[in-house]
Amino acid sequence: MEETPTTPAATRAQQFTALRRQLILEAAQRVFEREGLENTTVRAIAKEAGCTTGAIYPWFDGKEAIYAELLEASLERLQGQLDRALDGEPVGAARRVIQAFFQYYAGRATDFSLGMYLFQGLGPRGLGREADERLNARLRDCVARLGSGLRLAKQWPDDVVAAEQMQVFTYLMGLLLLFHTRRLKSLGQQADDLLERFCTTLEQRRL
């Protein structure tokens, strides 16, 4: 009798397929972190995943498609963390969302490395127009969450929020870059102390 998608055997096959795909993504993330997009090959990803290149192409057209999926998933997780930080009293919302952004990337060096592609840092370019537009839209959504925190806490007008959220984003990316490259330590600084002072100054600011 022919099995249907609801049979246990079909379910197991679907689970195996999902697991294999996830293993490829995890292997690709490790290779991207070591080599960067430009120096990574599908062959290197396959070797890291313990499979053939032919096992990758049914799911992904190439390394750019894999990179884009990893980056989009990372931005989705970031957005979720920022949304949770905004779910509370308006007082302190700006501080909470700023700290949530920093903590997300401070604890995820690989995600930060992936994200540098969109943050106009040292990462490569060229995932394709459609992927670039989709990923940049997700990034804008995350930056807008920083603005939502400012709007809740400070009740600033939209034009001020639009400018200030980019100032906050710029500060966070600079701090994270110094943090992950260990430059802060060599300068005798602590990221938590710097972020605390930044948030306090922001809370005290008047238009």
- Please, are residues 63 and 42 in contact by the beta-carbon 8 Å criterion? yes
The boundaries of the domain holding residue 9 are: 1-60
**72 and 45 in one domain?**
no
**110 and 39 in one domain?**
no
Query: What span, in angstroms and rounded, lies between the C-alpha atoms of 115 and 104?
Result: 12
For residue 175, give the CATH number of its domain.
1.10.357
- Please, are residues 10 and 4 in contact by the beta-carbon 8 Å criterion? yes
The one-letter amino acid code at 189 reads: Q
**CB proximity list for 90: less than 8 A, separation 6 or greater:** 152, 153
**18 and 71 in one domain?**
no
The whole-number pLDDT of residue 117 equals 74
The whole-number pLDDT of residue 156 equals 92
**26 and 96 in one domain?**
no
The whole-number pLDDT of residue 83 equals 97
- Please, are residues 85 and 100 in contact by the beta-carbon 8 Å criterion? yes
Q: How confident is the prediction for the chain on average, in pLDDT?
A: 89
Number of domains forming the structure of the chain = 2
pTM, 2 dp: 0.85
Of 60, 87, 108, the position where a domain reaches its end is: 60
**Model confidence pLDDT, tens digit, residues 30-65:** 998 888 888 899 999 999 999 999 999 998 999 989
- Please, are residues 184 and 150 in contact by the beta-carbon 8 Å criterion? no
For residue 49, give the CATH number of its domain.
1.10.10.60
